[in-house]
Amino acid sequence: MKKSLRSEVIPISEVPNGNKRKSEKPAVLVVDDEPLVAETLALILSGAGFAARAVNSAYEALDLAYTVRPAFLLTDVHMPGMSGVELALMFRTGFPDCKVLLFSGRATAQDMMPAVAAGVEFPMLAKPVHPTQIIDYVSKSLAERAPESILVRGGALPPKAFESA
């Protein structure tokens, strides 16, 4: 017995526009080696209208950055392996449009030496940080640039973009 297929032609004007997806919110990458801190901040930022993702190491952040080009990096300073300052410097090279905010409960001037040596000054908030303070900072920082440069549109820089860092 032959099955008949029924199909219907839909005009192109009725096809949903993929550019109006939820993923067009500004992408914020939250990095902290304490999972509870990273997840909580990502939830708070997601509730405030950002496409926030939490990771627990600088290396995870770099991996994710190849997939989701972040508009904003929020990172702890003290993490095993690669520090938040080193990560921020790599983002400055690989993603020059990405805004950066460091946060720490115990950062010292010594921790900031790699940035100083590179001639870069990153803003920093001391832990504990009130959620509204982070939301305000991220919102104001992202408002300073053109909307088309902060929307998640896919694509990322190739791995070679980080080689000069």
Asked if pLDDT for residue 125 goes beyond 80, the answer is yes
Mean pLDDT of the chain: 79
Across 2-41, b (16+ Cβ under 10 Å) vs e yields eeeeeeeeeeeeeeeeeeeeeeebbbbbbbbbeeebbbeb
Q: Would you state the pLDDT for residue 60?
A: 97
Domain boundaries, the chain: 24-144
Asked if pLDDT for residue 20 goes beyond 90, the answer is no
Q: What's the whole-number mean pLDDT along residues 115-139?
A: 90
Q: Would you state the pLDDT for residue 84?
A: 94
2-11, 20-29, 36-45, 109-118: the lowest-pLDDT one: 2-11
Is the overall model pTM greater than 0.75, yes or no? no
Radius of gyration of the chain measured on its C-alpha atoms: 19
Q: Would you state the pLDDT for residue 5?
A: 44
The band of 1, judged by pLDDT with boundaries at 50, 70 and 90, is: low
Q: First-to-last CA distance in the chain?
A: 65
- 3-state secondary structure (DSSP) of residue 148: helix
Which fold is adopted by the domain 24-144? Rossmann fold (3.40.50)
Amino acid identity at 93: T
Q: What's the whole-number mean pLDDT along residues 137-163?
A: 52
* Of 39, 24, 17, residue with least CA distance to 149: 24
Q: What's the whole-number mean pLDDT along residues 77-90?
A: 95
Q: Would you state the pLDDT for residue 145?
A: 61
Helix spans in 25-143 (H): 35-47, 58-67, 84-94, 113-117, 131-143
